[in-house]
Structures are given as structure tokens and as C-alpha cells.
Structure 1
Amino acid sequence: MRVSTSWTYQTAVYTMQNLQSSLSQSQSKLASGQKYLSPSENPAASVSLINFTQNIQITQQYQTNINAAKDKLQLADSTLNSAVNVLQSIQSLAMQSLNGINTPLNQQEIATQVDQLNQQLMNLANTQDASGDYIFSGTNTTTLPYTSTPNPNAPSADAQSTDPLGFTYNGNSSQASITIGPENRQVANGNPGDAVFGTLSSGPLTTGSISNVFQAVSQLANNLNNNTSTSASLTDITNALTRMETVQASVGARLQATNSQQNINAQTILDNQTTASSIGDLDYASAISQLDLQQTALQAAEQSFTKVQGLSLFQYIQ
């Protein structure tokens, strides 16, 4: 069999090109740290890596949602704690007002304090988070929850009367939720104002059966101003305080739930990352060894090609 000089050259060049391509691929893998540079190298592994990557991204979004929910819940918890403290002060004043030694002037002085505390309570009800959302507006987070305007028909003497201030709840009764885990696990990250501070009454107020805390406190102040304070007002305040503490306990429970899910999500991310790493990450020791072998093979091919180039009959023809 005759072997032409051109065929020898072509074979040698082809061999060196393949070795250079393999060497370049090994260098790229070492640079990227990836075992596979294209899906065609291992289609099954590539599909698995895509699935693991998607799982990690989805779970990381859950973690982002949890952080946002925790911020809102922690703010709600802090705000409710302050509101409970204010309401406890009002409760103490209501108890003080029942002391028989109080003069009408004393009652009016207590009423002034009660009104001021009621304004503090409303300010707390209108709390905004760092994004400017109102935390007690239900799902109407951009709407100021509570407003009040003087009632022109406010009574001057009748303690069992219409509300002396016109309170308005501008939010809704819906509770905002956010997804924090797989299978659509959600946590409520908001509290509608009417569930926290009580439903406003549009009709005559009867001391002892007033649901809304602002109306209850306002009625207490009105009774004090008219020197008609009764233990029924204390009942309204106590009921409002119980409701507020119940909501605060619910917020605390939801915070615990987010902490628990956050730990579960973190472990899920770690497990996916570990498995993905075992499939797609490069074994550097093996890759470097392979690179050394490829470099040696390429050098040998180049040297042999140089020698073959010198083998020609024309060199011996005189």
C-alpha cells in the first residue's frame, strides 16, 4: 500500500487539531469549573442540572418572600405591642375614673388624657412599613386605614349616644398572604384593621357593647366630660384589649411559622446545591491530570510531525 506524502500531512494535522480541541475543552472546563460545557456531552445530567437549578431558584424566591413577610410581621408585632401598652394606659384611666372621689374637673382631665391616648392609638393603626404600605389596611395597602372628623351632631349630655367623632375605616377586611414554601404554603403577612381594632358602628353607641376601640375610647372620653363614667366603658376597653392581644399572639405564631419554613427552605437549597455539584462540578484533580496527558500527547504529535516533514525522497535525489 502506497502512502502519499499529502495524506501523511493531513493525518498528522488532523490528529493535532483533535488534540488541540480536546486540550482547549479541558482548559475551558478548568476555567469554568463545570464538568460539562454543553448538554450534548451528557443529556441526562444536563436535564437533572436544569431541574436542580430551577428548584434552587424557586426556593430562593420563597426565602425572599419570607424575609418580606417577616419584616411586615415584626413591624406589626412591634406596633401591636405599643398599641396594647397605650390601651392598658387607657384601661388604667378608665378604672381611675370610677373612683368616687373624682370631681367633674378630675373627670375632664382624665378625658383629655384619654383623647390624647386615642390619637396615639390611631397613629399606630395608621403605621406604614419601609415600602410605604399601611400594615392595617387589609389588601388596600396604599390606603390610609383610619381617619376621623369631628361629628357636628356630637352630643353634649347624653352618654348613650352617637359617636362624638366620625371615625372611618378606609381599608378592607381581606388579609394579605404570601407564598413561603412548596405546595403553595402561604402565610398571612397583614392584618385588616377591623379585625385588630374592631368593626365601626354606624348607629348609636351603647357603652358596654362597643366593638371598635376608637369609638369605645371616644365614648369613654365623652362620658368623662359629662361626668357620667360607668364600668361599662371599662368592659369595652377590656374587650378591645383582649382582641388586640389575640391578634398579637397570631402574629407571633406566624413569625414562628416563617422561621421554621425558612430553615426548611435553607436545607432544601443546600441539598439541591450538593446534588447538583456532584453531577455538574468538575473534579479538578482528574481534570488537571487529563490536561497534562493531553499536553504531552500534543507535544509528541507536534514533534513527530516535525520529523515526518523531513522524510521525503526528493531530499535524496541529486
Structure 2
Amino acid sequence: MRITNGYFGNTMLHSLQKSNGKVADLMTQISSGYRVQRPSDDPIAAVRLLLIDRDQAMLGQYRSNIDSLSIRLQQNEIRLNGMLKDVESAYELMTWATDGSNTSADLNAMAGTLESLRDNLLSQVNATDNDGNYLFSGTKTDTPAVTYDPNAAVGARYRFTGNTDTQQVVVGQGVAQAANVSADDMEALLNQIDSALELLKDPNVDVNDPATRAVLEASQDALLNGVGVLGAKIAKLGGAQNTISLLDENHAAMLVSNGQAAQVIGELDYAEAYDRLNNYVTAVQGSYQIYSRVMQLSPFDVILR
């Protein structure tokens, strides 16, 4: 059977294109350092690499959430520490005020300090973040945590207007952490301080009057309870920050581990790749030489012999 030049040429061209394609693939692998450039290179490895990429993206998002949450928790803690200092100072003042040796003038002088502490406490309760969102209003971040109504009766002029719902932030697989702290318990405390302040401002206030002492001692008890409540909130925030810090460290370790796994799965064996490349290049060069020699042949060369 006679093989035509056209058929032979097409066959050789197809073979050369295939070999050149292999060479190009190897060059791409060598330049990138990864042997899996497309799923067909190694379907199983390609699937595993896709799963690792998905995990890496999720871990990166968790770490980003943790960074934002950490800033929010730190803001909350700073404000709560400020509240705690004000409440502790007010408690010390109330303890002093209940001393039976105080005169009316003494109690009137204390009113100015207590009023400043009350106003500062309200300011801390209604603190906002850099975006103007209220920190202690639950999920009602556009509403002050506590509002003041000057027309209401003394002891009822402060009202909690936020809610106690939590803003959950996903920080791990199936793990969420509350980003906010509610200030609902500050309503009663502010009203109790306000009641005591009204008495201390009275020019004729008598510390030994039973009604006066009852209000001052109730305020003292409320402030002591406030110290405990705020201390517990701060401790809870500290625990939350420790938790997310450990989670962040775990996520960072997993990112490194996944990166190493991806490298093992998809890393190119350079020695093997260069050996294969040399083989392909040699084959291509040989094919060109054979094609050139064959194309120079003629049936007349055989006849003449």
C-alpha cells in the first residue's frame, strides 16, 4: 500500500503538535511550580485542591470576622471600664453620704459630684462606634440605649430604649460570638442615682431622717450591685476575647497546614519534569529529522538502484 506524501505529512504534523503541546504544558508547570494546571491533569488532586481552596477562603473570612469582632469587644470593654469607675466613685460617695455626721451643706456639696458621675455614666451607656452605631442598644444600633425624659417623675426619668438581642458574628465552623453587650440594667441604676441626687440637692436635707436614709441606702445598694453587674460583663468580654484569640491562632495554623497540603498535592517534581521535558524535546527533534529525511526520498531513488 502506498502512503501518500499528504497523509504522511498530516500524520507527522499531528504528532509534532501533540508533542509540542506536551512541551508547552511542561514549561507552564515548571514556570508555576505546580503540576496540576487543569482538572484533566489529575482529577483526584484537582478536587482535593479545590476543597483546600474553599477551606482557605472560609478560614480567611473567619479571621477577618475575628479582627472586626476583637475591635468591637475592645471598644465595649473600654466603655464598660469607664462605667465601672463612675459607679465605684458614686458608691464611695453614697457610702460617705450615709454618714450620720454630715450636715445639709455637706450633702449639698456632694450633689455636684454625683450629678457629674450620673451624666458621665449616661454618656458611656450611650456611646457609639466610629460609624455612629450605639454600642449597648442590642440590635437597635440606631437608637440610644437609655433616653432621658425631663417631664417624667424623679426615679423614672431614665428609660432603656434598646433591646437585649445579640449581634452574632461567625468566627469558626458552627461557632458564633456575640459582638454586643446590652445596657438594660443601667436604667434602674440611673433612676436610683437620680432619686438620691434629688435629695442631696435639697437645702434642708437631713441625713438622719428615715426617709432620706432609705433613699440613700437604696442607692448605695443599687450602686454596689452595679459594680458586680459591670464587673461580670467585663469578665465575660475578657473570656470572649481569649476565646476568639485562640480560634484565630487555630485558623492561622490551619491556613499554614492547608498551604503545606496543597503544596504536597500540587507541587511539581522538578527533576521528573525536566527529565520528561528533555525526552519530549528529543522526540520532537527526532521527528523533525525523520520527517525531513523521508520527505527527501523518492521512488525513483529505489528504481535507480
TM-score bracket for this pair, using the shorter chain length: 0.7 to 0.9
Moved over 4 A (4+): 313-318
Please report the TM-score for the alignment, with normalisation by the length of structure 1: 0.83
Match of 1:132, SS?
A: coil
Alignment map for 1:130-141 (pairs within 5 Å): 130-141=130-141
Match of 2:29, SS?
A: helix
CA separation in 2, counterparts of 1:127 and 1:190?
12
Aligned partner of 2:208 in structure 1 is none
CA deviation vs aligned residue, 1:154-178 (integer Å, no higher than 9, x gap): 4xxxxxxx44xx2122210112222
CA separation in 2, counterparts of 1:153 and 1:13?
98
Note if contact 2:97-2:107 (Cα within 8 Å) is conserved in structure 1. yes
CA separation in 2, counterparts of 1:223 and 1:273?
68
1:222, CA displacement in angstroms?
1.5
Aligned partner of 1:263 in structure 2 is 249
Aligned partner of 1:60 in structure 2 is 60
Query: Identity of paired residues, percent?
Result: 25
Aligned residue identity for 2:256: L
CA change 1:303–1:142 in 2 (3 A) is farther
Alignment map for 1:143-182 (pairs within 5 Å): 143-151=143-151, 153-154=153-154, 162-163=155-156, 166-182=157-173
Note if contact 2:169-2:177 (Cα within 8 Å) is conserved in structure 1. yes
Match of 2:184, SS?
A: helix
Note if contact 1:63-1:265 (Cα within 8 Å) is conserved in structure 2. yes
Alignment map for 1:11-90 (pairs within 5 Å): 11-90=11-90
Moved more, 172-181 or 273-282: 273-282
1:216, CA displacement in angstroms?
2.0
Structure 2: gaps spanning 5 or more residues? 206-211
Give the counterpart of 1:225 among 201, 221, 229.
201
- The alignment of Structure 1 onto Structure 2 pairs a total of residues equal to 294
Aligned residue identity for 2:150: P
Matched, 1:216 2:192: yes
CA separation in 1, counterparts of 2:172 and 2:193?
41
1:141, CA displacement in angstroms?
1.9
Note if contact 2:145-2:184 (Cα within 8 Å) is conserved in structure 1. no
| Higher helix proportion (structure 1 or 2) | 2
Structure 1: gaps spanning 5 or more residues? 155-161, 201-211
Please report the TM-score for the alignment, with normalisation by the length of structure 2: 0.87
Note if contact 2:45-2:266 (Cα within 8 Å) is conserved in structure 1. yes
Note if contact 1:176-1:191 (Cα within 8 Å) is conserved in structure 2. no
Match of 2:148, SS?
A: strand
CA RMSD of aligned residues (A): 2.4
